[in-house]
Amino acid sequence: MWGGTALLMAWGFYRVGQTNQERNAQKLEERQVRYAMAPLLQAESDNLYLLREIENLKREREVMKNVEGWKVGASPYNNSEVWMPRAVHELSRHNQK
């Protein structure tokens, strides 16, 4: 009687180990896919940032054209030694909260 139970327990532990290995292999594959896609997604995000930045600079140039000494694209703050990307978002009612 104990021999059959021990055999079933051993089989169960074997299956648990196999399932864990399969799950770990699946997770590894998903991570590798994400790592491979990251540069492409970053490039796409950078491209969208650049397009929004160009559009915002055009709007800034139009709005501030009558202000003397205004430099389009220059930061109004005194932080010239550190570059920070501007918060550029679409200026629409849908994005305002």
| pLDDT at position 95 over 60 | no
> pTM for the complete prediction?
0.55
What integer pLDDT is reported at residue 96 of this predicted model? 54
pLDDT digits (tens, 9 = 90+) for 16-61: 999 999 999 999 999 999 999 999 999 999 999 899 889 999 999 9
In sequence order, the 6+-apart residues with CB closer than 8 A to the CB of 61 are: 72
Q: How far apart are the first and last CA of the chain?
A: 69
At 63 the pLDDT is 93
